[in-house]
């Protein structure tokens, strides 16, 4: 197996003769990538793994132990890591109006009404997580919200956070009328006859509203959101992640909880690229990074920059090389939006690469993916080959000729595998507007691996579930875990279970420049571990998400225990 860093190996070696703080025996210990070997026991002292092997080998190396956990029938695995997640948004939704775990227009309205009634002193009703497929054309209206909350503004991001549902009071406060022009990077949904805003804001219209009209949560509220999200992620065996949308306010909250020791995960922050500012913002990004990482029980590292290249296919803002279909067999003249055009993107990535930043790019459509790869190629031509580990997230539509370029350019494919299933949004709002040929090119994860690409895995939570086991079940089956009798979606793009596990462990550790210290179970590495209630490699892969996490250790400390 690959070894940890020299310093970590020395630390591990220096602790071998001392008693361990914890020894786990009886379980199947999956050591992970790249060797995919197994052990029967693992020992931890302080925040490090000090022995891995048979029970006899571990006893010989550590002698005694303060605590011994004998866990027959369980599986020990390196802590999961999420390469693309939004804890601040998800945690805030969980503390306000969270619609992610429910389905249907009336259920959404019931939750909003209950929250509003229970919080009469809140000046705004905020949250999100509603799904487009429960509304005609994917577009809810303000009238429904007005009927249940007419006295206060309501702002609810949809599940993919590319649109928002608002009531009349919110539109009034924002001064949005039929005469309000659309922003360049989005639009206000309007009644086709009167031109009046209907209560749906798309892309830049929603973001601008969120940034400039909805009150910004205070630092205390953001800290509470992050801690709520962290507790949920730890309960799923997750010990580290890359936050894909770090604003200055979110960064301040991370720094605070890290300094106080409450941040028990290792977090890489992807600083948000303001598409309206261009290269002028690089100095600010450098200043934010230069404040340095903050160490606590976990740590925070603001070393990445997130660039949103396009939108999503469901509202026709994902950037395509050829126009969208009209849903009836014909074509439109719409090829989607690019929020950072091709030349500007190449310049931005080249500049950030030169300054030592990793670039984390959102690219849904095939044109956005190609532009992202072209930008990295330009950066490599200008700056030479670096080890910044740029990555492209979502990669829903990737042309066959672009799939080899991930490996050639050293770009990591950041996969959201839960999306690769047949579900109502795919059936109603995606496939009819892509056409069959393009629909068959979606989420080509296996093809990317076959062509040599490194993969990492991220949930995009709260867009979809944060549970790695549910995401891995889709990765290996291409079927919705809640509807296992469904036919698989493009089954030729299935991953193996080992590949899926690797994406959530060493793959994401690699993206986060932490692969020498985590992502596999090896002597000298950090003791980030998850204990599952069963060995998922011997259980049916069709039932993968039936497994559950019983214990999560971060840096050797229990951060979740199932009661």
Helices (H), 452-557: 468-477, 497-502, 508-511
Encode pLDDT of 207-250 as tens digits: 899 989 999 899 999 999 999 999 999 999 999 999 999 999 99
Cβ-based neighbours of 239, under 8 Å, separated by 6 or more: 79, 80, 81, 265, 266, 518, 528, 529, 530, 552, 553, 554, 559
3, pLDDT greater than 50:
no
List the single range of 62-66, 367-371, 436-440, 466-470 with lowest mean pLDDT.
62-66
**Alpha-carbon torsion (450, 453, 457, 460), positive or negative:** negative
- What backbone torsions phi and psi does residue 479 show, to the nearest 5 degrees? -135, 145
Does the pLDDT at position 325 exceed 80? yes
Arithmetic mean of pLDDT, 339-359: 98
Percent of the chain surpassing pLDDT 70: 97
Give per-residue pLDDT as tens, 166-202: 999 999 999 999 999 999 899 999 999 999 999 999 9
Model confidence band, residue 17 (pLDDT cutoffs 50, 70, 90): low
Strands 80-85 and 75-78: unpaired
What pLDDT is recorded for position 293? 78
pLDDT digits (tens, 9 = 90+) for 105-157: 999 999 999 999 999 999 999 999 998 989 998 899 999 999 999 999 999 99
Instruction: Supply the pLDDT for residue 100.
Output: 86
Confidence at residue 159, expressed as pLDDT on a 0 to 100 scale: 87
What local confidence, expressed as pLDDT, does residue 543 receive?
Answer: 97
Rounded to whole angstroms, what are the CA distances from 426 to 164, 198, 221, 429? 20, 24, 35, 6
**pLDDT > 60? residue 557:** yes
How confident is the model over 503-531, as a mean pLDDT?
98
Using an 8 Å Cβ cutoff, are 84 and 363 in contact? no
CB atoms within 10 A of CB 167: 26
Q: In this predicted model, what pLDDT tens digit does every residue of 473-510 receive, in sequence order?
A: 999 999 999 999 999 999 999 999 999 999 999 999 99
């Amino acid at each position: 197996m690959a070894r940890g860093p020299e310093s970590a190996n020395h630390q591990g070696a220096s602790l071998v003769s001392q008693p361990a703080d914890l020894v786990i025996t009886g379980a199947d210990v999956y050591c992970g990538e790249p060797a995919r070997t197994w052990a029967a026991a693992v020992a931890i002292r302080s925040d490090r793994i000090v022995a891995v092997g048979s029970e006899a080998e571990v006893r010989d190396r550590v002698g005694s132990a303060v605590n011994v956990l004998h866990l027959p029938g369980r599986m020990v695995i390196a802590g999961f890591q999420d390469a693309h997640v939004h804890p601040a948004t998800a945690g805030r939704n969980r503390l306000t109006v969270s619609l992610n775990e429910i389905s249907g227009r009336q259920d959404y309205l019931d939750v909003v009404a209950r929250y509003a009634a229970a919080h009469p002193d809140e000046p705004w009703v905020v949250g999100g997580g509603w799904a487009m497929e429960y509304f005609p054309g994917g577009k809810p209206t303000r009238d429904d919200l007005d009927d249940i909350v007419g006295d206060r503004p309501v702002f609810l991001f949809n599940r993919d956070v590319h649109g928002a549902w608002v009531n009349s009071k919110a539109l009034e406060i924002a001064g949005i009328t039929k005469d309000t022009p659309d922003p360049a990077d989005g639009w206000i949904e309007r009644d086709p006859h009167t031109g009046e805003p209907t209560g749906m804001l798309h892309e830049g219209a929603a973001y601008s509203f969120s940034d400039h009209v909805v009150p910004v949560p205070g630092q205390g509220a953001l800290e509470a959101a992050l801690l709520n999200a962290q507790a949920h992620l730890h309960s799923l065996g997750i010990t580290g992640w890359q936050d894909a949308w770090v604003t200055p306010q979110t960064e301040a909250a991370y720094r605070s909880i890290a300094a106080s020791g409450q941040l028990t995960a290792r977090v890489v922050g992807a600083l948000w690229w303001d598409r309206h500012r261009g290269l002028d913002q690089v100095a600010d990004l450098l200043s934010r990074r230069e404040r340095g990482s903050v160490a606590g029980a976990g740590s925070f590292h603001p070393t990445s920059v997130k660039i949103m290249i396009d939108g999503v296919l469901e509202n026709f803002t994902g950037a395509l090389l050829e126009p969208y279909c009209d849903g009836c067999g014909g074509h439109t003249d719409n090829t989607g939006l690019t929020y950072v055009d091709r030349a500007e993107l190449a310049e931005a990535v080249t500049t950030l690469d030169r300054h030592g930043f990793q670039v984390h790019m959102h690219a849904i459509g095939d044109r956005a993916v190609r532009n992202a790869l072209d930008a990295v190629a330009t950066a490599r031509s200008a700056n030479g080959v670096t080890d910044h580990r740029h990555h492209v997230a979502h990669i829903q539509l990737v042309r066959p000729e672009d799939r080899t370029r991930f490996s050639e350019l050293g770009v990591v494919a950041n996969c959201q595998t839960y999306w690769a299933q047949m579900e109502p949004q795919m059936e109603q709002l995606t496939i009819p507007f892509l056409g069959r040929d393009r629909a068959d090119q979606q989420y080509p994860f296996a093809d990317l691996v076959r062509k040599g690409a490194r993969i990492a895995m991220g949930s995009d939570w709260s867009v979809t579930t944060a549970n790695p086991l549910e995401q891995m079940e889709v990765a290996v089956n291409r079927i919705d875990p809640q509807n296992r009798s469904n036919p698989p979606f493009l089954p030729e793009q299935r991953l193996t279970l080992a590949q899926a596990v690797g994406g959530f462990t060493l793959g994401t550790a690699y993206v986060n420049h932490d692969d020498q210290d985590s992502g596999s179970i090896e002597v000298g590495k950090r003791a980030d571990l998850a204990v599952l209630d069963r060995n998922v490699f011997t259980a049916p892969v069709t039932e993968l998400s039936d497994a559950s996490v019983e214990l999560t250790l971060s840096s050797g400390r229990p951060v979740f225990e199932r009661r």
